[in-house]
Amino acid sequence: MSVSTRRFRWSAVLDHSILIIGSLIMILPVVMLLQMASTTDVHTMKNGPGLGFGDQLPVNFDKAMFKADGFSGENTGLRMLYNSMILGFGFAIGKIVIGMMAAYAIVYFRLKFATLAFWVIFTTLLLPLEVRILPSYEIVQKLGMLNTYQGLIIPLIASATATFFFRQFFRSVPEELVEAARIDGAGPIKFFVDILVPLSRTMVAAMFIIMFVYGWNQYLWPTMITTDEGMYTLVRGIKQITQALEGTNLPEYGRSNLLALIAILPPVLIVIFFQSWFVKGLTESDK
Amino acid sequence: MAQVKLNAVRKTYPNGFEAVKPASFDIADGEFVVLVGPSGCGKSTMLRMIAGLEDISAGELSIGDSVVNHVDPADRDIAMVFQNYALYPHMTVRKNIGYGLKNRKIPSAEIDAKVAEAANMLNLNDYLDRKASQLSGGQRQRVAMGRAIVRDPALFLFDEPLSNLDAKLRNQMRIEIKALQRRLGVTAVYVTHDQVEAMTMADRIIVMNGGVIEQIGTPSEVYHSPASTFVASFMGAPPMNLFDGHANGSEVHVGSTPLHRHAHQGKVTVGIRPEDIVPDVTGPLAIHVNIIEELGAHRLLHGHTAEQPVTIHVAKDYPAAIGPMTASIKPDAVSLFDTATGRRL
Ligand SMILES: Nc1ncnc2c1ncn2[C@@H]1O[C@H](COP(=O)(O)OP(=O)(O)OP(=O)(O)O)[C@@H](O)[C@H]1O
Ligand SMILES: [Mg+2]
């Protein structure tokens, strides 16, 4: 047994109280969701949110995952989760791949207008989706990509942010590494795949978190592009969830709240899973 | 194995700066050539042209029997060791060393054998499975050497490979590199700004200054018969004493002291190595000593003669004292330069 020799300090108690209260405030809405998801709708209707957890979680989970609204019966929770996953991963991976390749071209090849090209890409930061939504919609429509995953993802994956970050990163890779690779007979593709990509892996992880969450939370674009219920994402499906709450029948509190929980869970998991890499990507370099 | 030929090779950078003025020299098969000169004189540029990392603006470069001006670095049959080692930080030592071979599509069993052999040679066996980023400077240096060795190149190129190491390790690696090059018999071009490295490692030294080759010669030639005042003052620590002198057609005077016989007439610069000036009570050179520098194995006396600074190298038991003394000059120890051009007469 060891006796702690650290002195007891009131300031530490204060610090921790503040932190604990803060996290409670942050976590309370989530607990509320969980509580309402664990009781019957009738119970919630009568008592409102409270502290009494019920045993209805499996029942509500079943409803949330497999019950569908609307006409087609295709927008089950499971389907929406699947669509959200495709959007989140497609969006993040697409942005990283495109951003990396664009940055590679700009940094490593003697292109005549590389700097100009970079700044053109950079200025697209001034043109977010909301500004160009009509022309973007028209293009997607003319290409016949409404209600498709391509239509959902491709118009969004060009990324000035990712290009910018990868450009900064590549520029900090020592010149000699490129030269050593040239002498070692690594061509442009080999150098990219064997050396640059592995070197960037913490950067990729950081980008992946940011982009996945960003893509997962897209609302406006999926709302415009998908009218087919089988294509709804969770976040877009929130409308359906709230509609269920306003219905004339007994509102489906359990199901809706559980869906909301499911909608916030994957980004949280991604952040937890990648966070050590994320911190590394921002602080330490492997070069 | 290969000889290297440079024929009026020059380099003008895109911004118009001429970093290497037309340079011609040959390097024999198996020779160890050191390019030495002050910072910014174009050594790296020269080496990088030989490596193929930098385009050659004009002239012709051949390695072995073929002109390689437009050959890719990977196809020049060279290996290069960089100042900061340029190891691939995410790869293990084993992969680092074998990467070039893998790209040449050499079967992995053969790569393993070669890597093992190189690791043996360089005492790297304990580190083969470590990441390059987890090695000390000296170990990285060895891995960089290993990467060069396994390729079995015709030509080794080194760009200041030891300058990031501490003094002790530098001395050790210097000897090791030289021994390795001898053993493998591979032609080598070695860039350094350290004249001790140049003197100790080279079969021949190429001294560069401002993009121009000042002298090519064996260490002893460069040291004892420098081709210009620049070489005289660059090579050797302490550098050669350079005195303003006057030649009257038969004798050369520094101040009023006749030091040397030569038929030249006019202003000259007289160069004498510090160790070629010897204390001598009957000597012609009157010196006033200001500072005594104790170096253990010997001493350096700094002072003036005929109002010009002078440094003398004396044995450790010489009873040096601040004040006047006289000295003589060893026979054949005087280098004479034209003051206007700086070239040797
Ligand atoms: N890409 C470039 N564009 C223009 N000038 C350059 C370029 N690279 C080098 N130089 C110039 O060419 C000259 C020679 O450079 P180099 O790198 O060969 O010097 P160095 O002798 O290797 O010096 P050091 O000992 O400092 O490495 C320098 O004056 C440098 O400023
Ligand atoms: Mg250099």
Whether residues A252 and A155 share a domain: the answer is yes
Q: What is the mean pLDDT of residues A176-184?
A: 93
Q: Chain A residues with CB inside 8 Å of B53's CB?
A: 179, 182-183
Whether A127 and A22 share a structural domain: no
Q: Given the DSSP bridges, would you call strands B32-36 and B204-209 parallel, antiparallel or unpaired?
A: parallel
pLDDT of residue B224: 92
Residues A148 and A217 in one domain: yes
**Residues in chain A closer than 8 A to B160 (CB atoms):** none
| Same domain membership, residue A134 and residue A202 | yes
Residue % of chain B over a pLDDT of 70: 100
Do B261 and B331 contact (CB within 8 A), yes or no? no
**Is B72's CB within 8 Å of A287's CB?**
no
For this complex, say whether ipTM is above 0.90: no
Please say if the pLDDT value at position A287 is more than 60.
no
The model's confidence at residue A114, banded by pLDDT at 50, 70 and 90, is confident
pLDDT at A284 over 60: no
The reply to whether A162 and A255 lie within a common domain is: yes
Residue A45 reports pLDDT greater than 70: yes
How many helices and strands in chain B, by DSSP H and E?
8, 20
CATH number where A106 lies: 1.10.3720.10
Query: B95, B84 in Cβ contact below 8 A?
Result: no
Place of tokens 């990977």: B74
Q: Find out whether the beta carbon of B45 lies less than 6 Å from any atom of ligand 1.
A: yes
Query: A186 and B103: CB-CB below 8 Å?
Result: yes
| pLDDT given for residue A283 in this prediction | 64
Q: Please report, as a single letter, which amino acid is at residue A154.
A: I
Size of interface A-B (CB pairs under 8 A): 60
pLDDT > 90 fraction of chain A, expressed in percent and rounded: 39
Contacts of B91 in chain A (CB under 8 A): 198
Test A182 with B90 for CB contact under 8 angstroms: no
Question: For chain B, what is the largest distance between any 2 Cα atoms, rounded to a whole number of angstroms?
Answer: 75
From A40, A64, A88, the end of a domain falls on A64
Of the three residues A38, A64, A90, the one that is the final residue of a domain is A64
Residue A191 resides in a domain = yes
User: What distance in Å separates the CA atoms of residue A226 and residue A241, rounded to the nearest whole number?
Assistant: 17
Nearest-atom number in ligand 1 for the CA of B48 is: 18
Q: Looking at the CA of B54, name the nearest ligand.
A: 1
Q: Is A69 among the domain residues?
A: no
Strand ranges of the sheet holding B4-12, from the earlier edge strand across to the other edge: B18-27, B4-12, B58-63, B66-67
Q: What is the pLDDT of residues B4-60, one digit of tens each?
A: 999 999 999 999 999 999 999 999 999 999 999 999 999 999 999 999 999 999 999
A131 and A261 together in one domain: yes
Q: Pick from B167, B180, B158, B171: which is nearest to B199 by CA?
A: B171
- How far apart, in whole angstroms, are the C-alpha atoms of residue B211 and residue B231? 14
Distance between CA B98 and CA A97 in Å, rounded? 28
Residue A139, domain extent: 77-283
Total-model pTM: 0.83
In terms of domains, do A242 and A191 share one?
Answer: yes
A179 touches A140 (CB < 8 A) = no
Say yes or no: A11 and A112 in one domain.
no
Span B272-299, pLDDT tens digits: 999 999 999 998 889 999 999 999 899 9
Mutate to test the interface with B, among A177, A183, A189 (most CBs of B within 10 A): A183
The 10s digit of each residue's pLDDT in A207-245 is 998 899 999 999 889 988 988 888 888 888 866 666 656
In a domain, A72, yes or no: no
Helix boundaries (H) for chain A: 10-37, 41-47, 57-66, 77-108, 114-123, 133-142, 149-153, 160-171, 175-183, 188-190, 197-199, 201-216, 220-225, 234-246, 253-283
How far A87 CA sits from the closest chain B CA (Å)?
A: 31
**Cβ(B17) – ligand 1 distance below 6 Å:** yes
Q: How many domains does chain A have?
A: 2
Do A45 and A143 fall within a single domain? no
Buried b or exposed e, range A29-58, using 16+ CB within 10 angstroms: eeeebebbbbbbbebbeeeebeeeebebbe
